Structure 1
Amino acid sequence: MDCNESGLYALLADETTDKSTKEQVTICLRFIDPHNKYEIREEFLAFQEATDGISGEALADLLLSSLREHGVDVGKMCAQGYDGASNMSGRYRGVQARVREINPDTVYVHCKEHCLNLAIVHSCKEQCVRTIMGTVQDITFALDYSSKRLLAFCEELSGDENVQEQMDQRTKLRTLCETRWTSRADALLTFLRAFPVVVRALEHLQENGDVKAGQHLHVILKWDFIIDLVVCEHILQSTVFLSTFLQNVSCDLMEAARESEVVINTLTNERNDPEVWNALFEKASDVAGQFDVIPSKPRTAGLQGHRNNIPCRISHRILEEVMHSIHMTLELTDRLLGGTVHDRFLAQYLVASSIHRITLDIKGRLFDAFAQYLTPHDQHVFNAEKRRWETKWNGADVSIIKPTMLQDTLKECNWDLYPCISTMIRVLLTMPVSTSTAERSFSSLRRIETYLHSTMGQGRLSDLPLLHIHRDQQIDINSAIEQFATDKKKRASFWILSVFSDIQCMYYTDNYGLLGFT
């Protein structure tokens, strides 16, 4: 197998419940292509039913036995990536702990896409954010899943060409995903762009006796809702591209940390920039002004009932009160850049553009972190190689552009001259960033195991997604038919194999001597 030829691979796994209410575990592998030594691949391997439960011990045994069954060398596993569920990530009884008992060199990496999602979830627990999320979801469901209300929305939308252009030819609002919070940015953006149409549709429904529409209209025509909607959409929008980037197969941990830091610094700078607040305030004011909603500061005292709201004259004061309630930067820093850092990540200092930052302490720890992968296992050989590598890049001409990424550095690292450094970079590249490939396999499972095909056997359930996922690979149809005809004893005796133009025909006689073909 290619993963065995590569010499190193990372295990990716996740679990889901299929259409027949069985727990299915997907197994994927991440490795560097042995034929193209600079390309990272993540490949689906199989689905396995968790017949013994979903405890850490049962899932670890299932994963290891499945790898051995498919001919994958467990000893070449250098990392493992799962979500943050306790049965997967548990320090003592989780899957990652059980696997490390078999192979101590398999470092566990918490899926960064899940970390980003958790950061957004925890930062959006404030009351103002939960209120607008719930309101948008209620209105979206009301307008999307009722033919009468959807008709009213579509009629209002057809009469507003400006909103049609902003919605990119969409004819419905986007519902908020319950699990992928980064996808909520698109739903909030669609709702914000269609806000005038939503208001007019609700007004039309209210005039026709729809009480629920009147209640929704009363909620969204308030300054608090409009300003919270604008701010939350702006904040979540900054995480969309990071989420997409983390799902990329070619993404490595060094790039993931770097781009996460960019998003964190961007949010921090915007939080301290009055111009950003003024721009968001003006945007919210423009939306509110279309419906005579006056920007106002919420009441300071909850029991105050006989004093009018104070008109807001300083734009960024209100926005700072809203923004400070969303601890996005703290959550992103803690979950994407925090936590325990393994010494393997020190290999990032071997990148040509960062070689000048390497210290004596890092040099000593590098060999210990990768000693089990180095040949020969001699620190003096590694030190000599490292000195040559430093000399190469520190003395390089100014006109030479130094690589800034692991893959580019690996291309410049000749295996014959720098075997140890090349191995270290390969190990760090192989370590997974997210389990998105495992998540994508669930989409194939849902397309194949439908309600009408919910009783298929486990072997077929695993093989059909494999064919679907690798559908770009060519299959020799004639060889497949021949193997099917001769593989095992069947009630029908196949005796002629013929191919007419583009139609494959297989003639057979059954137990009654009748002639047929498929």
Structure 2
Amino acid sequence: MSGHLNGCQAKFQEKVPKAAYYHCASHQPNLAISKSSTVPDICCMLSYLKAVGDFFKYYPKRQLHLETTVSKVNVQRKSLGVTEVSPHKVRLMCETRWVERHTILVEFAEMHEPIVNCFETISRNSSREWNAKSVTKANELLKAILSDQFIAAFQTNLYFFVYTKPLSCLLQCSTQDILTAYKEVDVAKRVLKDIRADSSNEYDKVYVSMCTMAKLHGMEELTVPRTCSGQSLRSNIEVENPKTYWRCTTSIPFLDHLIAELSTRFSQLNQQAIKGLRLLPCNLTTLTDGEVAELYKRFHQDLPAAEAFEQEVKLQIEKWKLFPTQLPDNICETLQQANDKLYPNICTLLKLLLVIPVTTASVERGNSSLKYIKSELRTTMLQDRLNALILLFIH
């Protein structure tokens, strides 16, 4: 899609040279998180979570045994007056929608105790009802999800995903304009940078969650793996305690990767859009003559009275000087308060900026819903009914 030589972008611009390419903003956080998850401990943890989903998904007997284990755990918790486990099916790790991965992390945190108990029962196989494949795999996964590396990576990922999930959901809204979308991204980046600057105090919450998860299964505290100065394929940091070790080897690298990816991917917003947004009343005081000339050069063919564009900008600046405390900071409010007869060029330019596609999630949602509506049993459905059913299904 984004190829500037032979991709879809290039083919569009052959026909319409002024058509600017914008990457889907709701997909960008997914890519940023995906690249951030290449930290070795995080990557291994996610692969084990995927293996846990595979272990239960395609085997009804294993799934039924997990449900029985959840019931037993809830009976024990109820007698102790502890919050019961909400029963969930262990879902597969989604490869594309990283928002779903956060949901899977939350569900796994809730189901961690029943899953561990289930693996212990299968690996012991005292009833002789499990085959060798199930016993071997359960024993392997049990050791993996009780390891210090898994617990540290899991709680780190679970904690910092909280800051990116609302952003991903927000950017999928079809009513977002480009300015509001990128403002929210800047807010998320600033928060993550503040956490990074004060990582010692912020990490206390993560480490408490790690220790709680470890103690749930009889582990007194997290330990530091054996270090070796000649080993370069793993972290060999000499530290005084486990808390410092896991902060330096897992949490800080993951947070650094996440901040860098968000900064890189969202810094490449199309320059014409950024300069066009300088016409908003809240930005007019910093608008320069050079930027006005660049905007004219870019959009003059689309303007209804291009020869009066510079004069309109000056009038707009003087107008909003009279209302310094009522300056709109988004395109919709500006258009509602603007007079398209007095400022036809500015209104036209803002309308062009308003239709910049922030996300393609709505289009993809329609495509993914088609298979549920247009099935083999409905091959004679006409277009009007198909359109209506898809809209009902989506909304």
TM-score, scaled to structure 1: 0.66
Partner of residue 51 from structure 2, selected from 135, 138, 144: 138
> Tell me, what secondary structure is at the counterpart of 2:91?
coil
CA 1:314–1:204 in 2, change beyond 3 Å: closer, same or farther? Answer: closer
- Amino acid aligned to 2:368: S
Residue 317 (structure 1) shift? 4.5
- C-alpha contact 1:441 1:469 (8 A) present in aligned 2: yes
Instruction: Measure, in 2, the Cα distance between the counterparts of 1:461 and 1:92.
Output: 39
* Partner of residue 273, structure 2: 344
1:240 aligns with 2:165: yes
CA distance 1:234–1:424, change in 2 (3 Å): same
Spell out, residue by residue over 1:434-477, the C-alpha distance to the aligned partner (whole angstroms, 9 max, x if none): 11121111232111233556xx59xx6866542323459xxxxx
Which amino acid is the alignment partner of residue 206 of structure 1? S
Alignment of 1:197-208 (within 5 A): 197-208=114-125
SS in 2 for 1:338: coil
Which structure exhibits the higher relative contact order, with contacts defined as CA atoms closer than 8 Å and separated by 6 or more residues? 2
Mapped partners of 1:142, 1:387: distance in 2? 66
Aligned mate of 2:388, from 467, 470, 477: 467
Unpaired segments ≥5 residues, structure 1:
1-87, 473-518
Matched, 1:392 2:313: no
Structure 1 residues 183 and 302: alpha-carbon distance in aligned structure 2, compared to 1, 3 A threshold? farther
Q: Which amino acid aligns with 2:100?
A: S
Secondary structure at 1:111 match in 2 = coil
The answer to whether the Cα contact below 8 Å between 1:449 and 1:461 also exists between their aligned partners in 2 is no
Deviation at 1:384, TM superposition (A): 1.9
CA contact (8 A) 2:102 2:158 kept: yes
Take 1:165 and 1:370, find their aligned partners in 2: how far apart are those partners? 60
Residue 66 (structure 2) aligns with: 153
Q: Distance in 2 between matches of 1:281 and 1:232?
A: 12
SS in 2 for 1:115: helix
- Residue 111 of structure 1 deviates from its aligned partner by 1.3
Aligned to 1:356: 285
Letter in 2 for 1:145: Y
Q: Which has the larger radius of gyration?
A: 1
**Which amino acid in the other structure matches residue 288 of structure 1?**
A
Give the conservation status (yes or no) of the 8 Å contact 1:297–1:310: no
1:428 deviates by 0.7
Aligned counterpart, 1:221: 146
Q: Which residue of 2 aligns with 1:263?
A: 188
Cα distance change, pair 230–368 in 1 and its aligned pair in 2 (3 A): same
Contact preservation (8 Å) 1:441, 1:465: no
What is the CA-CA distance between 1:244 and the residue it aligns to? 0.9
Report the counterpart of residue 489 of structure 1 in structure 2.
none
Aligned to 1:91: 4
In the TM superposition, 1:65-464 aligns within 5 A as: 88-161=1-74, 169-208=86-125, 210-273=135-198, 274-293=200-219, 294-301=221-228, 313=241, 315-326=243-254, 327-338=257-268, 341-378=270-307, 381-396=308-323, 398=325, 401-450=326-375, 452=377, 456=379
1:461 to 1:104, Cα distance in 2 relative to 1, 3 A: farther
Distance 1:402 1:258 in 2: 17
**Aligned-partner Cα distance in 2 for 1:302–1:211:** 33
**Structure number having the greater strand percentage:** 1
Structure 1 residue 101: deviation in Å? 2.1
Distance 2:387 2:113 in 1: 47
Distance change in 2, residues 1:297/1:310 (3 Å): farther
Q: Which has the higher helix share?
A: 2
Q: Please tell me the root mean square deviation across aligned C-alpha atoms, in Å.
A: 2.7
In structure 1, distance between residues paired with 2:329 and 2:84: 38
Question: 1:231 touches 1:319 (CA, 8 Å); kept in 2?
Answer: no
Q: Displacement of 1:184 after TM fit?
A: 0.8
Query: 1:16-35 counterparts in 2 under 5 A?
Result: none
Contact 1:295 1:312 in 2 (8 A): no
Distance in 2 (alpha carbons) for counterparts of 1:187 and 1:133: 10
What CA distance in whole angstroms lies between the structure 2 residues aligned with 1:238 and 1:182? 11
- Counterparts of 1:446 and 1:197 in 2: how far apart (Å)? 35
Matches within 5 A, 1:2-41: none
Query: Counterpart amino acid of 1:151?
Result: L
Displacement, 1:252? 1.5
C-alpha separation in 1, matches of 2:84 and 2:368: 29
Residues 392 and 438 (structure 1), Cα distance of their counterparts in 2 relative to 1, 3 Å cut? same
- The whole-number CA distance in structure 1 between the counterparts of 2:193 and 2:153 is 18
Q: Distance in 1 between matches of 2:315 and 2:355?
A: 25
TM-score (norm 2): 0.85
**Distance apart, 1:276 and its partner CA:** 1.2
Letter in 2 for 1:385: E
CA contact (8 A) 1:345 1:428 kept: no
Cα distance in 1, alignment partners of residues 272 and 53 from structure 2: 48
Q: Which amino acid in 2 is paired with 1:300?
A: T
Distance in 2 between residues matched to 1:416 and 1:165, nearest whole Å? 63
Q: For 1:111 and 1:395, how far apart are their aligned partners in 2?
A: 38
Distance 1:233 1:166, change over 3 A: farther
Over the matched positions of the two proteins, sequence identity in percent amounts to 26
